[in-house]
């Protein structure tokens, strides 16, 4: 039996991740070292892998709907690559976790190798978003900015700069592989760049003035901002010490990949709707145009078809 993924399923998964993240962090505060706490902390691995696998599947499908070669084809290909490398990273990290990290200090250097797929995933994501922006810009979208559009990017840059000040506290900074330490120090920057590009996509969604496409872009932007916000709370000792912020940050960190998967799935559903509509226009174009101003019974059929 083939199971069809629906937005409701992904919303549920997002809710579960949010809750699991919050519970896991709460347990860390109340029962540090307890087996349940340990189980909870490791639970995010499988959730991340599944969310990225779903996103990868839809990215590939959307990619195949774009002409090859084209900038948008490249954009989706890069985003699929980002999801694939994220899967590699979390599979590696989760395996190491099951082998006893972080209780076993000998594994600190081994686990630090996760920085390679981590940075690669963010580089792919950034490049994909640049390619996406470039496609929209070619038709004149995302080229006009207002002064107030600069406020949020400035806040992001300031917070990222502040986070860089705490780079010595990062987990992998103590790795015997110096390169891994440097790569992790870069992580606030590699997360801030996609978030900044997300704000450009937000501007594009505003220029679109409504429509399902703008909704997809908004989901994409929120997932990128959520990822950055959760990282900022994780890195900064000042924020990490405040329980409510730490719990909210962890919950956001667990939920972010699901929001991205949801955005990508919504984008694919638009393609599916467009294909159904194209078939209807192929079958009886005159009837379909009549339905734009037709009696309700007929119009209902068309809208349900979409």
Partner 1 sequence: MGHDISEPEWLEYVSGALPPAKAQRIESHVATCPECAHLLDELANWHDLLTTEGAGLRRALQLPDARMEEFVDRAVERVCAAAHPKFGAGRGRTAAEGLFLMRSLLEPIFGSGTARIAMDLAASRCTIHPEGKLLGGEWPLFVRNLSETLASICGSAAGRLVNRAGTCLVAQGA
Where do contacts with partner 1 occur on this chain (CB under 8 A)? Answer: 62, 65-67, 70-72, 135-136, 138-141, 207-214, 270-275, 277-278, 281-282, 285-290, 292-296, 299-300, 303-304
In whole angstroms, the minimum distance from the beta carbon of 222 to partner 1 comes to: 17
CA neighbours closer than 13 Å in the CB half-sphere of residue 124: 20
Tokens 């506290």 sit on residue: 169
CB of 274 to partner 1, least distance (A): 4
- Residue nearer to partner 1 on the CB measure, 67 or 148: 67
Question: Which residues, 6+ apart, have CB-to-CB distance to 141 below 8 Å?
Answer: 204, 207, 208
* Nearer of residues 161 and 290 to partner 1, judged by Cβ: 290
Cβ at position 210, least distance to partner 1 in Å: 5
Angle ∠(86,89,94) on CA atoms, nearest 5: 120
Helix (H) or strand (E) holding 22: helix 7-30
Cβ pair 273, 306 in contact under 8 A: yes
Smallest gap from Cβ 57 to partner 1, in A, equals 16
Query: Which of 70/169 has CB closer to partner 1?
Result: 70
Select 210 or 241, whichever has its Cβ closest to partner 1.
210
For residues 175 and 109, what is the distance between their CA atoms, to the nearest angstrom? 5
Q: Give the integer Cα–Cα distance in Å for 219 and 56.
A: 16
* Smallest separation, CB 17 to partner 1 (Å): 22
Closest to partner 1 by CB, 76 vs 260, is: 76
């Amino acid at each position: 039996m083939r199971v069809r993924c629906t937005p409701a399923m992904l919303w549920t998964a997002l809710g579960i991740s949010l809750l699991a993240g919050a519970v896991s962090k709460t347990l860390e505060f109340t029962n540090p070292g307890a087996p349940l706490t340990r189980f909870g902390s490791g639970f995010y691995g499988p959730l991340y892998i599944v969310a990225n696998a779903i996103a990868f599947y839809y990215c590939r499908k959307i990619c195949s709907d774009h002409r090859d070669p084209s900038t948008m084809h490249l954009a989706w290909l890069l985003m699929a690559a980002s999801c694939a490398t994220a899967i590699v990273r979390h599979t590696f990290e989760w395996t190491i976790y099951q082998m006893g990290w972080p209780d076993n200090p000998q594994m600190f250097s081994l686990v630090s190798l996760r920085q390679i797929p981590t940075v690669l995933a963010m580089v792919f994501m950034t490049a994909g978003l640049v390619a996406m922006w470039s496609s929209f810009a070619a038709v004149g979208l995302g080229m006009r900015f207002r002064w107030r559009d600069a406020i949020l990017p400035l806040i992001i840059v300031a917070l990222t700069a502040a986070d860089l000040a705490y780079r010595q506290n990062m987990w992998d900074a103590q790795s015997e592989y110096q390169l891994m330490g440097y790569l992790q120090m870069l992580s606030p920057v590699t997360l801030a760049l996609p978030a900044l590009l997300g704000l450009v996509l937000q501007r594009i969604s505003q220029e679109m003035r409504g429509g399902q496409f703008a909704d997809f872009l908004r989901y994409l932007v929120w997932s990128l901002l959520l990822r950055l916000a959760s990282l900022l709370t994780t890195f900064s000792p000042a924020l990490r010490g405040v329980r409510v912020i730490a719990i909210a940050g962890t919950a956001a960190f667990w939920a972010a990949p699901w929001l991205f998967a949801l955005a990508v799935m919504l984008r694919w559903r638009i393609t599916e709707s467009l294909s159904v509509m194209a078939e209807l226009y192929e079958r009886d174009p005159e009837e379909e145009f009549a339905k734009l101003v037709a009696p309700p019974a007929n119009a209902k059929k068309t809208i349900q078809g979409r």
